[in-house]
């Protein structure tokens, strides 16, 4: 299948390609083959039945719905942070920049218990919200908070290089043509950022759908209400329902794949424009 199209003077193709293919096959392809093949032990009807159970549908709806909502919230948040980080200079900017990566560096279980402690009725933020009648921990709202936390860096880091590369002279040109600053932002800056905003949205969404560690502590995990799809996979495994777990995993993987594909298409679109 894979052959060098032309030989190069540099050595090592066979060795490195062999190692790569072997490692990829053992660590990625073989396991994913199991994921793709095992659900069908249930038969087509069985798979259908297994992924259309009300509890499964509820969990899928929750996972994708809240992940999408969190990604939507993260678009303005990410835009704000990225804009300020790239365009403005303020004290402790480098510190703030490192902080943005915190959700990616912090183990998800740590993030999970920290957010739970923060938003629990007696937590620092929870105590402020309880009098207002807002319950965050152990509700779908908690899942939203966790996914906003996890997804923010994806939007910020996708936007930053694009904002950095925005040509200042097109903003200046707009100004010489009589545009006000807010017109420039709306008509020149934002349109140029739309592909990156979509890409960041997609990346945050894809991450949110599969997220587990930071969510399960704060979610409450009530079936039909705050039970995410990955948790249902774990539950099915505990019941030794491998095929059912694999079926649910496959559905999630296919949707994630679709998102990845969309991302690639978007990225290509961005490259075509520039």
Partner 1 sequence: MSVELRDLSKSFGGVAALNRVSLTIAQGEFLALLGPSGSGKTTLLRVVAGLDFVDSGDITVDGRSMQSVPARERSVGFVFQHYALFRHMTVMRNVAFGLAVQPRNRRPPAREVRARVQSLLDFMEIGDLAHRYPEQISGGQRQRVALARALAIEPRLLLLDEPFGALDAKVRKSLRVWLRALHDRMGLTSIFVTHDQAEAMEMADRVAVLRAGRVEQVDAPARLYAEPASAFVHEFIGESVRFDCIVSDGLARIEGLPNVQIPTTCPAGQAVALIRLHEIGLLPGPGPARVESRHLVGPMCRTVVALNDDVFDVLATEAAWAPAPGQTCNLDLSRARIYRSEPNWDS
Partner 2 sequence: MNLSATQESPAVRVGLTALTVVLLVTLLLLPLAVVFTEALKHGLAIAADALVAPDAIAAIELTLIVAAISVPLNTVCGLAAAWCIVRFRFSGRGLLITLIELPFSVSPVISGLVWILLFGANGWFGPAFDRAGIRVIFAIPGLVLATTFVTFPFVVRTLIPLMEQQGASEEEAALTLGATGWQTFWRVTLPNIRWGLLYGVLLCNARAMGEFGAVAVVSGHVRGQTMTMPLQVEALFNDYDWVGAFTIAGLLSMLALLTLVVKAALEWRIGSRGGPLL
- Considering only residues 169-188, where is the footprint of partner 2 by CB under 8 A? 171-172, 174-176, 180-181, 184-185
Q: Which stretch binds partner 1 (CB under 8 A): 6-14, 107-115, 120-128, 260-268?
A: 6-14
Query: Closest separation between CB of residue 10 and partner 1, Å?
Result: 9
Interface of this chain with partner 2, residues 222 to 251, rule: CB under 8 A: 230-231, 233-234, 237, 240, 242, 245-246, 249
In the complex, the smallest distance separating the C-beta of residue 194 from partner 2, rounded to whole angstroms, is 20
Token digits of residue 253: 């993987």
14 vs 176 by CB, closer to partner 1? 14
Specify the residue for token string 């707009």. Answer: 174
- What DSSP assignment string belongs to 134-161? ---TTSHHHHHHHHHHHHHHHHHHHHHH
- In the list partner 1, partner 2, none, the entry touching 120 (Cβ below 5 to 8 angstroms by class) is none
Distance CA 254, CA 22 (A): 24
Instruction: Give the x/- contact pattern for partner 2 in 115-154, rule: CB under 8 A.
Output: x-xx----xxx----------------------xx--xxx
Minimum CB separation of residue 45 from partner 2 in Å reads: 21
- Joined together, the tokens standing for residue 230 give 């990955």
217 binds, among partner 2, partner 1, none (CB under 5 to 8 A by kind): partner 2
Interface positions, 52-71, toward partner 2 (CB under 8 A)? none
In terms of Cα–Cα distance, which of 99, 202, 93 is closest to 151? 202
In the bound complex, what is the minimum distance in angstroms from residue 7's beta carbon to partner 1? Answer: 6
The DSSP-derived string for 73-91 is HHHHHHHHHHHHHHH---T
Q: Is 220 exposed, middle or buried (0-12, 13-18, 19+ CB in 10 A)?
A: middle
Task: Of 191, 203, 163, give the one whose Cα is nearest residue 70.
Answer: 203
Find the binder of partner 2 among 52, 53, 99, 224 (CB under 8 A). 99
Query: Nearest distance from residue 16's CB to partner 1, in Å?
Result: 18
Tell me which of 7, 89, 271, 273 binds partner 1, using CB under 8 A: 7
Distance CA 236, CA 41 (A): 15
| Rounded Cα distance, 37 and 40, in Å | 6
């Amino acid at each position: 299948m894979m052959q060098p199209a032309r030989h190069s003077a540099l050595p090592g193709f066979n060795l490195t390609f062999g190692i790569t293919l072997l490692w990829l096959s053992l660590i990625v392809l073989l396991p994913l083959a199991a994921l793709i093949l095992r659900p069908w032990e249930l038969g087509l009807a069985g798979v259908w039945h297994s992924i259309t159970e009300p509890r499964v549908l509820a969990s899928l709806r929750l996972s994708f719905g809240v992940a999408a909502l969190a990604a939507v919230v993260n678009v303005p948040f990410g835009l704000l942070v990225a804009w300020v980080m790239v365009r403005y200079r303020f004290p402790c900017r480098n510190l703030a920049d490192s902080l943005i990566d915190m959700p990616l560096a912090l183990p998800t279980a740590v993030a999970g218990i920290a957010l739970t402690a923060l938003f629990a009725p007696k937590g620092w933020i929870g105590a402020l919200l309880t009098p207002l009648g807002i319950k965050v921990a152990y509700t779908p709202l908690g899942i939203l908070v966790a996914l906003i936390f996890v997804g923010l860096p994806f939007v910020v880091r996708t936007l930053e290089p694009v904002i950095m590369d925005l040509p200042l002279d097109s903003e200046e040109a707009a100004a010489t043509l009589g545009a006000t600053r807010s017109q420039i932002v709306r008509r020149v800056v934002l349109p140029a950022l739309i592909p990156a905003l979509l890409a960041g949205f997609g990346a945050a969404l894809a991450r949110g759908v599969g997220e587990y560690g930071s969510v399960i502590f704060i979610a409450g995990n009530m079936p039909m209400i705050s039970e995410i799809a990955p948790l249902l996979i774990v539950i099915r495994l505990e019941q030794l329902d491998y095929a059912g777990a694999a079926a649910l995993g496959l559905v999630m993987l296919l949707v994630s794949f679709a998102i990845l594909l969309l991302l690639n298409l978007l990225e290509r679109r961005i490259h075509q424009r520039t």
